[in-house]
């Protein structure tokens, strides 16, 4: 039977031969480098589906048709109308500006549905981009005004507005902030830059200005990005950069060995028993984790109801975006290593490293133990050097003896009382022995020094 001559085989071979030119490395590189907004794969999402699902607003195409989020579409159109009135610019200028980068915006989304492609699909795609982008700018403007009140923006709306009012700032904005950090719910910052540029004609918009607007809304207490860092990919990327504001120190890489640490990291309580002290670092960057002279410096982390969601989406971005690094993932894995029980959380909280807004130490321990499930680290992760230094310190004989002593006799009050009683009895026994020996020599001395009896 001539397999190659059959119709299906012939068509398949012709199709594959046409794609041989796409096997070139440069062609494949250009194919993937433009993507930076992804759908979270089922193997990641199934562990905690709600962590990747927006609750109140869809941003971008991936959740645009979600039934639970359709109520916000009317508010988006209302935000666009107010934005146009305040900018005093025709809608056509915004459309023209967005059309200039239509291809770049479309290629930012990996696995974009076919309904957004083609001439008709692209028009709907750009309409959605303009609505979502102006809505996001309007929402961020609520806290971007001087003093953080957003008074000028709020005055443009009715006092009972469900979104753009003091009531909305208090009750709705926290959910929008959370939805802005969903990996599947991202807008390219290139879109926001184009929209802001239409409104501001006096001077060109700098990249760091857009980064700062986004970060001021997502995390007002974070250090604002400086000029020269480049435009962020999307809000999640800007937020991640703020967490890693300091460059990775060379001290993170082990100066002694290129082999990854294979020993298991001990819990915070066990490290404390081995003589290691915990101290809060002055900088808020996750890169500021150092171990020197028996002191482990770590940045403070506020743990609340949104922490799990934020960390999971940051880790998913690092896992899916080639070249992003794995700094957040390494940090989560490190925290999971030193947190085994609520007692570890209590110790870190007492040192100011964990700022527990959840309330339960058990809940915080469960959080870190669960989100690090199926975590994959690079062979030389950022915290390998710290891991090696801590383990080397714990292996020193004195520190091992100290840890065993504390673990055996000071964990339980009864064990401590037993040890105290044993030491007391041992001391009394030694004293009694010394007293007996001294009395014997004293009696012997008295006998030898006595005068001999007369003949």
Residue 148 has what pLDDT?
A: 45
Look up residue 424 and give its two tokens.
């007391």
Residue 426 has what pLDDT?
A: 77
**pTM for this prediction:** 0.82
Q: Is residue 195 a part of any domain in this protein? A: yes
On whether both 279 and 334 belong to a single domain, the answer is yes
Coil vs helix vs strand at 297: strand
Domain boundary among 166, 185, 203: 203
Q: Is residue 432 a part of any domain in this protein? A: no
- Highest averaged pLDDT of the listed ranges 18-22, 389-393, 407-411, 417-421: 389-393
On whether both 188 and 306 belong to a single domain, the answer is no
| Residues 116-143, mean pLDDT to the nearest whole number | 93
On whether both 64 and 119 belong to a single domain, the answer is yes
String of DSSP letters for 86-111: HHT--HHHHHHHHHTTHHHHHHTBTT
| Residues 183-208, mean pLDDT to the nearest whole number | 91
Q: Is residue 129 a part of any domain in this protein? A: yes
**Quick one: pLDDT band at residue 146, thresholds 50, 70, 90?**
very low
More confident site: 24 or 10: 10
Residue 149 has what pLDDT?
A: 45
Domain boundary among 176, 203, 230: 203
On whether both 262 and 190 belong to a single domain, the answer is no
Residue 393 has what pLDDT?
A: 81
* Mean per-residue pLDDT of the chain: 83
Cβ atoms of 13 and 4 within 8 Å: the answer is yes
On whether both 175 and 261 belong to a single domain, the answer is no
On whether both 185 and 273 belong to a single domain, the answer is no
Residue 455 has what pLDDT?
A: 47
Q: Is residue 236 a part of any domain in this protein? A: no
**Quick one: pLDDT band at residue 387, thresholds 50, 70, 90?**
confident
Q: How many domains does the chain have?
A: 2
**Quick one: pLDDT band at residue 255, thresholds 50, 70, 90?**
very low
Which of 45-59, 99-113, 114-128, 383-397 is the least confident region? 383-397
- Highest averaged pLDDT of the listed ranges 133-147, 193-207, 218-232, 403-417: 193-207
Domain that holds residue 347: 250-395
Q: Is residue 419 a part of any domain in this protein? A: no
On whether both 50 and 188 belong to a single domain, the answer is yes
| Residues 162-188, mean pLDDT to the nearest whole number | 94
CA distances from 218 to 134, 138, 252, 305, 323 (A): 17, 14, 28, 15, 24
Q: Angle 81-78-126 (CA atoms, 0-180°, nearest 5)?
A: 75
More confident site: 451 or 75: 75
On whether both 183 and 263 belong to a single domain, the answer is no
Given a cut of 90, is residue 115 above it in pLDDT? yes
**Taking the chain, what is the end-to-end CA distance rounded to the nearest angstrom?**
139
CA distances from 299 to 244, 268, 285 (A): 11, 15, 6
On whether both 119 and 266 belong to a single domain, the answer is no
- 278 φ, ψ to 5°? -105, 140
Residue 442 has what pLDDT?
A: 72
Residue 406 has what pLDDT?
A: 53
Q: What is the dihedral of CA 378, 379, 383, 384, to 10 degrees?
A: 170
For 332-370, the pLDDT digits (tens) are 999 999 999 999 999 999 999 999 998 889 999 999 999
Sequence-ordered list of residues with C-beta below 8 angstroms from that of 385, at least 6 positions apart, any chain: 251, 252, 253, 254, 255
| Residues 5-31, mean pLDDT to the nearest whole number | 70
Given a cut of 90, is residue 283 above it in pLDDT? no
On whether both 171 and 285 belong to a single domain, the answer is no
| Residues 420-447, mean pLDDT to the nearest whole number | 72
Residue 447 has what pLDDT?
A: 60
| Residues 125-146, mean pLDDT to the nearest whole number | 88
For 311-335, the pLDDT digits (tens) are 999 999 999 999 888 999 999 999 9
Residue 391 has what pLDDT?
A: 83
Given a cut of 60, is residue 425 above it in pLDDT? yes
Given a cut of 50, is residue 259 above it in pLDDT? yes
| Residues 30-57, mean pLDDT to the nearest whole number | 88
Which of 198-202, 232-236, 424-428 is the least confident region? 424-428
On whether both 107 and 174 belong to a single domain, the answer is yes
On whether both 120 and 35 belong to a single domain, the answer is yes
Q: Is residue 402 a part of any domain in this protein? A: no
| Residues 395-420, mean pLDDT to the nearest whole number | 55
Q: pLDDT over 70 for what percent of the chain?
A: 79
Residue linked to tokens 């589906």: 49
Residue 40 has what pLDDT?
A: 95
Domain boundary among 349, 370, 395: 395
């Amino acid at each position: 039977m001539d397999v190659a001559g059959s119709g299906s085989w012939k068509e398949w071979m012709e199709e594959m031969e046409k794609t041989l030119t796409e096997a070139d490395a440069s062609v494949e590189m250009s194919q993937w480098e433009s993507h930076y907004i992804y759908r979270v794969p089922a193997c990641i999402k199934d562990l905690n589906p709600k962590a990747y699902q927006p609750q109140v607003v869809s941003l971008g195409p991936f959740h645009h048709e979600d039934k639970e989020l359709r109520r916000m579409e009317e508010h988006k159109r209302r935000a666009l109308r107010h934005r146009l009135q305040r900018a005093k610019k025709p809608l056509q200028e915004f459309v023209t500006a967005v059309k200039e980068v239509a291809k770049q915006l479309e290629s930012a989304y990996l696995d974009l549905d076919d309904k957004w492609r083609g001439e008709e699909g692209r028009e709907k795609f750009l309409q959605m981009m303009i609505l979502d982008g102006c809505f996001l700018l309007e929402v961020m403007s609520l806290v971007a005004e001087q003093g953080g009140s957003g008074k000028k923006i709020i005055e443009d709306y009715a006092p009972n507005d469900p979104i753009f009012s003091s009531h909305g700032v208090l009750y709705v904005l926290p959910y929008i902030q959370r939805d802005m950090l969903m990996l599947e719910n991202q807008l390219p910052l290139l879109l926001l830059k184009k929209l802001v540029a239409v409104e501001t004609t006096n001077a060109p918009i700098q990249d760091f200005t857009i980064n700062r607007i986004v970060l001021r809304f997502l995390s007002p207490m974070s250090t604002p990005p400086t000029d020269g860092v480049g435009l962020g990919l999307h809000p999640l990327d800007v937020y991640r950069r703020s967490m890693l504001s300091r460059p990775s120190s060379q001290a993170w890489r082990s100066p002694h060995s290129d082999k990854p640490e294979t020993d298991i990291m001990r819990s915070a309580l066990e490290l404390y028993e081995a003589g290691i002290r915990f101290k809060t670092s002055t900088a808020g960057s996750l890169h500021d984790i150092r171990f020197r002279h028996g002191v482990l410096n770590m940045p403070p982390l506020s743990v609340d109801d949104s922490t799990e969601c934020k960390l999971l989406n940051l880790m998913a971005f690092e896992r899916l975006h080639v070249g992003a690094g794995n700094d957040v993932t390494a940090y989560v894995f490190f925290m999971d290593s030193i947190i085994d029980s609520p007692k570890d959380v209590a110790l870190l909280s007492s040192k100011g490293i964990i700022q527990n807004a959840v309330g339960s130490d058990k809940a915080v321990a469960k959080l870190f133990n669960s989100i690090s499930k199926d975590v994959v680290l690079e062979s030389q992760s950022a915290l390998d050097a710290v891991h090696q230094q801590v383990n080397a310190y714990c292996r020193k004989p004195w520190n091992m003896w100290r840890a065993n002593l504390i673990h055996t006799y000071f964990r339980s009050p009864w064990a401590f009382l037993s040890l105290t009683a044993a030491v007391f009895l041992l001391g009394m026994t030694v004293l009694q022995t010394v007293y007996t020996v001294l009395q014997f020599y004293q009696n012997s001395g008295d006998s030898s020094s006595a005068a001999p009896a007369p003949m």
